[in-house]
């Protein structure tokens, strides 16, 4: 894999996306619902869609779910995971993400209140604490139901 490790990060990301489509297998991802005591939730604004979303992404090869949660929070929001409270749902509807078929595990968690913002502004434009009503009906990738289920603290949903 020597020459592949020398690829620019953007080329490596593109190569992984092409491989996902060629292999035609579902991709495992995580989405985090980080809630503060005042009820605000951590959201990111995506560069590709320009809309708000829950922080999250796909697991990398050899990575645990917890490590992916920590990495995605750090990369997309500059946030530090304090604890994972629960798994609120597992979503696998093929039409949720137009890029590929994803199986998304949604976790409710706590993060440090101070967020340093995204590491890659070409991917994530900003990270901000907002009330759920501020973004209601405007979340990318049909994430409104994921957020609602996590906030309700009801039984785990499997879709």
Mean pLDDT of 100-123: 94
Token pair, residue 78, equals 């500059």
Specify burial of residue 151 (Cβ count, 10 A radius: 0-12, 13-18, 19+): middle
146: domain range? 25-158
Number of domains making up the chain? 1
* 5 falls within a domain: no
* 74 falls within a domain: yes
Half-sphere exposure of 101 (CA within 13 A, CB side): 9
pLDDT in tens, 44-55: 999 998 999 999
Q: What is the CATH number of the domain that holds 45?
A: 3.90.79.10
Token pair, residue 16, equals 């992984």
* 38 falls within a domain: yes
pLDDT number for residue 1: 47
* 15 falls within a domain: no
How far apart CA 44 and CA 115 sit, in angstroms, is: 11
pLDDT number for residue 6: 64
Mean pLDDT of 154-159: 92
Are the C-beta atoms of residues 86 and 107 closer than 8 Å to each other?
Answer: yes
């Amino acid at each position: 894999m020597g020459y592949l490790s020398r690829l620019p990060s953007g080329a490596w990301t593109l190569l992984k996306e092409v491989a996902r489509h060629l292999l035609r297998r579902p991709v495992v991802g995580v989405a985090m619902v980080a809630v503060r005591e005042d009820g605000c939730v951590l959201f990111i604004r995506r560069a590709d869609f320009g809309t708000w979303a829950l922080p999250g992404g796909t697991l990398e090869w050899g990575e645990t779910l917890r490590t992916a949660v920590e990495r995605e929070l750090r990369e997309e929001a500059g946030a530090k995971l304090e604890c994972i409270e629960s798994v609120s749902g597992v979503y696998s509807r093929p039409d949720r993400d137009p890029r590929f078929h994803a199986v998304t595990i949604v976790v409710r968690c706590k993060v440090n209140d101070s967020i340093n913002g995204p590491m890659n502004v070409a991917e994530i434009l900003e990270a901000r604490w907002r009330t759920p009503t501020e973004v209601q009906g405007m979340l990318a990738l049909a994430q409104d139901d994921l957020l609602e289920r996590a906030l309700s603290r009801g039984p785990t949903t499997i879709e």
